[in-house]
Amino acid sequence: MAKYKVLVVDDEPGIRMGTRRILQNFRVDYPFMDEHIEFEILEAPTGEDAIEIIDREMPDIILLDNKLPGIQGIEVLEYVKKKLYDIVVVMITSYASLELAVKATRDGAYDFIPKPFTPQELRGSLENITKQLFLKRMTQKMNKEGKQIRFQFLSLLSHELKAPLNAIEGYLKIMDEKQFGENIQSYKEMISRSLDRVTGMRSLIMDLLDLTKIESGSPVQNFQPTDLTAVAQISIDTMRPYAIQKDVDVYLNTKESVIMNADSKEIEIIFNNLISNAVKYNKRNGRVDIFIKKGGNTLTITVSDSGIGITDEEKARLFQDFVRIKNQKTKNITGSGLGLSIMKKIVEMYHGDIIVDSIPDQGSTFSIVFPIEN
Amino acid sequence: MKKTILIVDDDMDYLFQMKLKVEQFGFETITAESQKEGEMIIESVKPDLAILDLMMESDDSGFILAYRIKRKYPDVPIIIATAVTAETGMSFDINTDENQQWIKADLFLDKGIRADQLQREINKLLKI
């Protein structure tokens, strides 16, 4: 439950009392809100008192009479605007002339309630204001959080892009200054490292493109009956040169077609990530086994490897952006650190789960479980 | 006798290039590729100065390692070399009192620093 503070500014005690009674047990529910909103009533007989209470209590809503004994309501409104307080001000007045209405609205009053008002009128008006205020604050909050996440992501991204650039630039400078003499052979290792870093950077950019596609809400998702076994085979063919280079055998143990209603491009990203990781973090003469099974209400993709495995501690960090598990065993392996977080986002779009089983030095098994309709 | 500089960085290319530069300045080097490896080295060796990467196994590995080095050898100057400060706006200004209390480093350097600047900073810290 949330509580909004409503400050009633009126020199007539009857109006203040009446407002308190009308709003005391009033609550606003909203279909989109998980919670309902109730009101706490504060009272001020003069504009001067109102300003004091505003500074101290920071109300959410002010019901403001214009005709006050000291400073006028419109001056209280000006004060609120000047201080940039996030308060919704509603003018209550029986002297509601057009001129005042225009001025108050220009100064930021949200609404007018003509006096005298019925309980229904007051409640109706409060309900609208409350919903508007709630939505506005919600939007502000989400914008702020979104910006923060975006900032973190961009910070990490620029770090990840800068590291290979620094490395390549460093090697080029060494070569430019001919620090190891005239013979190009002396620079062979540096050239090969530079090329590795370029490859790493390219795969980061490719992953980023995938991620952008997913995060833009995928308006181009193309759902159709897709044979996962066939997609797995395409992915294996893509990875084959890499697997040969790493001396790892990849087996597709499911031969029959397994059909799922899905976007084949997205399924391919999932397989590419699973298989390339299984090859990448494997041992020489290692193997990768792929199974695709349909049963009951689920469809499960399983990719097992005979690789280096991961610890429980590492497992917890596995799906974060740019996290690459760094240890002695992985130090020569390059990657963007985005693959698994991309895969997780896709799997989530299908309301699926990812299960990771791993024993260090023996291997890991990644299972993707999709719910399906029969 | 040549002074010894400990360099710790998990980017093998950066480590190699930094080692090369520092050796060209006329120092001995010892290198480590992780916070853990760095901790093992300081068990048996006291370097004259340490240059540490910030983000290794964890985002603050450099700080942790700096803390351990300072606890064992309070007189060893520490440089934290990072690519983080420049582009993130996350600035750990070493010169504010507040930060000096918990960041046990003598100097922060951007990873893209020029060799001559680096040499000058190292010499200053070693009082050469």
- The interface pTM score, or ipTM, of the predicted complex is 0.78
Give me chain A's average pLDDT, please: 85
* pLDDT at residue B98 tops 70: no
pLDDT band at A90 (very low <50, low <70, confident <90, very high): confident
Among the listed residues A20, A17, A7, the one whose alpha carbon sits nearest the alpha carbon of residue A63: A7
Range of the domain at B100: 4-125
pLDDT digits (tens, 9 = 90+) for A104-116: 777 777 777 777 7
CB of A170 within 8 Å of a chain B CB? The answer is: yes
Residue type at position B57: E
Give me the domains of chain A, ranges plus CATH numbers: 2-143 (3.40.50.2300), 224-374 (3.30.565.10)
- Candidates A166, A328, A331; nearest CB to B83: A166
Min distance B18 CA to chain A CA atoms (Å): 9
Min distance B98 CA to chain A CA atoms (Å): 24
d(CA B4, CA A280): 37
Among A67-76, A127-136, B69-78, top mean pLDDT goes to B69-78
Is the CB of residue A78 less than 8 Å from the CB of residue A107? yes
CB of A193 within 8 Å of a chain B CB? The answer is: yes
Determine whether the interchain pair B90/A155 forms a contact, defined as Cβ–Cβ distance below 8 Å: yes
Is the CB of residue A277 less than 8 Å from the CB of residue A315? no
Among the listed residues B69, B78, B82, the one whose alpha carbon sits nearest the alpha carbon of residue B109: B82
d(CA A50, CA A85): 14
**Least confident piece of the model among A74-78, B22-26, B72-76:** A74-78
Min distance B127 CA to chain A CA atoms (Å): 27
**Chain B residues in contact with A163 (beta carbon < 8 A):** 11, 14, 83
**B128 half-sphere exposure, CB direction, 13 A CA radius:** 15
**A320 half-sphere exposure, CB direction, 13 A CA radius:** 12
CB of B94 within 8 Å of a chain A CB? The answer is: no
Is the CB of residue B60 less than 8 Å from the CB of residue B43? no
* pLDDT at residue B100 tops 60: no
Cis peptide before A116 (omega within 30 of 0): yes
Residues A120-155: b if buried by 16+ CB within 10 A, e if exposed: eebeebbbebbbebbeeeeeeeeeeeeeeeeeeeeb
Determine whether the interchain pair A326/B34 forms a contact, defined as Cβ–Cβ distance below 8 Å: yes
Probe site for chain A from B17, B59, B111 (most A CB atoms < 10 A): B17
DSSP state of A24: H
* pLDDT at residue B119 tops 90: yes
* pLDDT at residue A185 tops 70: yes
Domain count, chain B: 1
Instruction: Specify the CATH number for the domain of residue B54.
Output: 3.40.50.2300
Torsions phi, psi of B87, nearest 5? -95, -15
Integer Rg of chain B from CA? 13
Question: Which residues between 259 and 298 in chain A have a beta carbon less than 8 angstroms from any beta carbon of chain B?
Answer: none
Determine whether the interchain pair A158/B87 forms a contact, defined as Cβ–Cβ distance below 8 Å: yes
Which H/E stretch holds residue A313?
helix A312-317
Question: Greater confidence, A111 or B70?
Answer: B70
Supply the pLDDT for residue B86.
Answer: 46
d(CA B107, CA B78): 7
pLDDT digits (tens, 9 = 90+) for A246-273: 899 999 999 999 999 998 888 988 999 8
CA torsion A138-A141-A144-A150 (nearest 10°) is: -70
d(CA A44, CA B62): 57
Is the CB of residue A38 less than 8 Å from the CB of residue A1? yes
**A153: nearest CA partner in chain B:** B88
